A and B are shown apart, each in its own frame.
Chain A
Amino acid sequence: MTIKRKPQSHVAVVGAGMTKFLRRALETPKELAFEAAQAALESANMTLDDIDCVIHGTAPDAFDGVHMKGEYLSDGSGGWNKPYIRCYVGGGTGVFAPIHGWLHIASGMFETALVVCEEKMSSCLPHPQGAFLTIFDNFIERPLKPNLLWIFAMEMNRYMNTYGISVRDIAHVSVKNKANALLHPAAQLGAELTVDEVVNSPIMAWPVHRLMVSPPSDGACAVVLANEKRAKKITKKPVWISGVGWNLDTSYWTNRDLAYPQYVEKAARMAYEMAGIREPKKEINIVEPYDPFAYKELHHLEGLLLADRGKACELAIDGISARTGNMPVCPSGGLLGVGNPIAAAGLMKVCELFWQLREEAGPRQVPGKPETGLAQAWGDLMQVGTVIIMRNKK
Chain B
Amino acid sequence: MKKTHLNFAGTPLSNEVFVNNKVSITESNPNAQYEYDTGLGIGKFLQGLKEGKILGTHCEKCNRTVVPPRIFCELCFGTQISWKELKTTGRVNTFSLCYVNWDATIIKEPHIPAVIEIDGATPPCGIMHLIDEVRPEDVKIGMKVQAVFKDERERQGSITDIKYWVPIK
- Interface on A for B, CB 8 Å cutoff? 16-27, 32, 35-36, 38-39, 42-43, 65, 126-127, 129-130, 133, 137-141, 143-151, 153-155, 157-158, 161, 185-186, 202-208, 218-219, 250, 252, 254-258, 351, 355, 360, 362
Whether A205 pairs with B94 at a CB distance below 8 angstroms is no
Whether A203 pairs with B99 at a CB distance below 8 angstroms is yes
- Residues 111-169 of B contacting A (Cβ, < 8 Å): 111, 113-115, 124-130, 141, 158-160
Q: Does B63 contact A (CB under 8 A)?
A: no
The 7 closest A-B pairs by CB, nearest first: A20-B10, A153-B96, A147-B102, A35-B9, A158-B94, A205-B98, A206-B97
For the complex, what is the distance from the CA of A143 to the CA of B115, rounded to whole Å? 15
CB-CB under 8 A for A205 and B99, given A26-B13, A26-B23: yes
- With a CB–CB cut-off of 8 A, which chain B residues contact A207? 96
Whether A146 pairs with B113 at a CB distance below 8 angstroms is yes
Q: Nearest CB to that of B160 among chain A residues?
A: A143
- Contacting B98 at CB < 8 Å: which of A137, A147, A219, A360? A147
- With a CB–CB cut-off of 8 A, which chain B residues contact A147? 98, 100-102
Whether A24 pairs with B12 at a CB distance below 8 angstroms is yes
- Additional 11 contacts, C-beta under 8 A, given A206-B110, A258-B94: A20-B9, A35-B9, A36-B9, A39-B7, A130-B103, A137-B42, A139-B158, A144-B130, A148-B102, A185-B8, A205-B97
- Contacting A146 at CB < 8 Å: which of B5, B103, B124, B128? B128
- Contacting A157 at CB < 8 Å: which of B5, B6, B96, B124? B96
Q: Does B109 contact A (CB under 8 A)?
A: no
- With a CB–CB cut-off of 8 A, which chain A residues contact B36? 138-139
For the complex, what is the distance from the CA of A258 to the CA of B95, rounded to whole Å? 12
CB-CB under 8 A for A155 and B94, given A19-B9, A143-B160, A186-B10: yes
- With a CB–CB cut-off of 8 A, which chain A residues contact B96? 149-150, 153-154, 157, 205-208
- With a CB–CB cut-off of 8 A, which chain A residues contact B95? 154, 157
Interface SS majority for chain A: mixed
Whether B8 pairs with A205 at a CB distance below 8 angstroms is no
For the complex, what is the distance from the CA of A340 to the CA of B6, rounded to whole Å? 19
Size band of the interface chain B makes with A = 35 or more
Whether B68 pairs with A252 at a CB distance below 8 angstroms is yes
- Contacting A39 at CB < 8 Å: which of B3, B13, B115, B141? B3
Whether A185 pairs with B6 at a CB distance below 8 angstroms is yes
- Interface on B for A, CB 8 Å cutoff? 2-13, 23, 28, 30, 36, 38, 42, 45-46, 66, 68, 70, 74, 93-104, 110-111, 113-115, 124-130, 141, 158-160
| Residue among B38, B70, B102 with max Cβ neighbours from chain A (10 Å) | B102
Q: Offer 19 A-B interface pairs, CB within 8 angstroms, sorted by A.
A: A22-B12, A27-B9, A39-B9, A43-B3, A126-B103, A146-B128, A147-B100, A149-B96, A149-B100, A150-B113, A154-B95, A154-B115, A157-B95, A185-B8, A204-B98, A205-B96, A255-B125, A257-B124, A362-B6
For the complex, what is the distance from the CA of A355 to the CA of B130, rounded to whole Å? 46
Whether B12 pairs with A158 at a CB distance below 8 angstroms is no
For the complex, what is the distance from the CA of A22 to the CA of B12, rounded to whole Å? 6
For the complex, what is the distance from the CA of A295 to the CA of B58, rounded to whole Å? 34
- Contacting B5 at CB < 8 Å: which of A16, A23, A150? A16
Q: Nearest CB to that of B1 among chain A residues?
A: A42
Q: Nearest CB to that of B96 among chain A residues?
A: A153
Whether A35 pairs with B10 at a CB distance below 8 angstroms is yes
B121 CB, min distance to chain A CBs, angstroms? 9
CB-CB under 8 A for A154 and B114, given A20-B12, A43-B4, A203-B99: yes
- With a CB–CB cut-off of 8 A, which chain B residues contact A150? 96, 98, 111, 113, 128
For the complex, what is the distance from the CA of A147 to the CA of B104, rounded to whole Å? 9
